[in-house]
Copies of this chain bind each other. A is one copy, B any other.
Amino acid sequence: MVKVGVAGYGVIGQRLADGVALQKDMELVGVADLAPTLSVRALKERGMDYDLYLVEGADASKFNALGIPYKGSFNDLIGKVDVMLDSSPGGVGAKNKELYEKAGVKAIFQGGEKNSVADVFFHGYANYEKGLGAKYLKLTSCNTTGLIRSVDCLDRNYGVDRVAITIIRRVADPGDYHRGLTNALQMDKAPSHQAVDLMTIMPHVEATGILVHTPVTHGHIITVVAHGKDGKKITRDMALDAFKTHDRIRVVRIEDGFLGNSSFFRYARDLGNPRGDMYEIGLWEDSIVESGDNIMYAINIPQESVTIPETMDGVRAAIKMQNDSASATAETNKNLGLGRWKN
């Protein structure tokens, strides 16, 4: 059993902990945080199903006053694990890394950290092998993770050498009050960092794109214009066939009720998924169209949970639990129940 800890019990950290707890070959040792946030209070009310550790700077008296038990310090947690999943606020991960180095513990950082924090910028499907045995990995961000799933899927099956993307980004998560946008679409300077990041992970693909922020909370939508390698056309049927075989892509149709990004959220709640989360990206069958040598399609990215499977893959790579992407992602998928809906 590989022992795993989680630093930062926020939107991502909670889901990382849940994800680890579902892996049959991993053990969640505990989670660490700084303050009795709503998420930590919920952990308490739920019955402390995960052990809590306090990071440096935490005011223990606040936890005591609320009757929230903790097992020890952040260093205590680090001392018990093989790998830390770091989902601290941006910038904090880089500081935590010093502790990981001192303890000789591997770590996987989320997309908010700078690339320089890690040895390898990682995606479970597109460059698993690069992560094998690495000390420090950084995951791609939520948009990039989902985007690469779909582009890698086409590339693996038919070859892709160029993509142009439009990201229609959700601007905040449900429950966020510290950021937001009201009745406005906001432009980012092009090219979007997601296109640039894709090229880092898949260097044989030329990518560019435009990102527009929109005032919604339930999932990004990305349109992709992908060019078949050397102009070899990918037809609508070819694309659909490939997408349907992928265990982290859920192919849906508007006519079945998947009208937009919030339909996925609604559906995941109705499925009984914890927190109403979905690990798969959605892909609309009725969005796929051909444009010359290009294939165009739209995907939905459930921003809160989409990186969890690839982070589990990251643990597998760093610890060399599996030696190739196919075996590792299959194991992650089985533990998370991914692909089950096809039966």
Chain A positions near chain B (C-beta within 8 angstroms): 14, 37-39, 41-43, 45-46, 162, 164, 166, 168, 170-172, 174-177, 179-191, 206, 208-210, 212-219, 221, 223, 225, 227, 254, 256-263, 265-267, 269-272, 274-276, 284, 286-292, 294, 296-298, 341
Contacts and interface: CB of A to CB of B under 8 A. Distances in A.
Contacts of A296: 164, 190, 208-210
Given A177-B263, A215-B216, 5 more contacts: A41-B257, A41-B267, A164-B164, A176-B182, A208-B296
A191 B289 contact: yes
Contact of A208 (B162, B262, B266, B291): B291
| Copies of this chain in its oligomeric complex | 4
Given A214-B168, A216-B214, A216-B215, A174 B262 contact: yes
Contact of A276 (B14, B187, B261, B275): B275
Contact of A266 (B175, B286, B287): B175
Contacts of A261: 184-185
Given A45-B271, A164-B225, A265-B174, A260 B216 contact: no
A270 B214 contact: no
A292 B208 CA distance: 10
A89 to B, nearest CB: 16
A206 B294 CA distance: 12
Given A37-B257, A180-B182, A270 B206 contact: no
Central interface residue in A185, A210, A256, A288, by most chain B CB within 10 Å = A185
A14 B181 CA distance: 24
Contacts of A256: 38, 41
A212 B168 contact: yes
Contacts of A164: 164, 225, 291, 294, 296
30 contacts: A38-B270, A42-B267, A164-B225, A166-B223, A168-B185, A172-B183, A175-B266, A175-B267, A176-B182, A176-B262, A177-B184, A180-B184, A181-B182, A182-B217, A183-B216, A184-B216, A184-B259, A184-B260, A185-B219, A187-B221, A187-B260, A190-B289, A190-B296, A208-B290, A209-B296, A210-B289, A214-B215, A227-B292, A272-B274, A276-B276
A266 to B, nearest CB: 3
Contact of A39 (B179, B258, B270): B270
B182 A215 contact: yes
B267 A341 contact: no
Nearest to A14: B270
A103 to B, nearest CB: 29
B225 A265 contact: no
A84 to B, nearest CB: 21
A172 B256 CA distance: 20
Contact of A287 (B210, B223, B227, B275): B210
Contacts of A341: 45
Nearest to A219: B185
Given A269-B275, A289-B191, A259 B174 contact: no
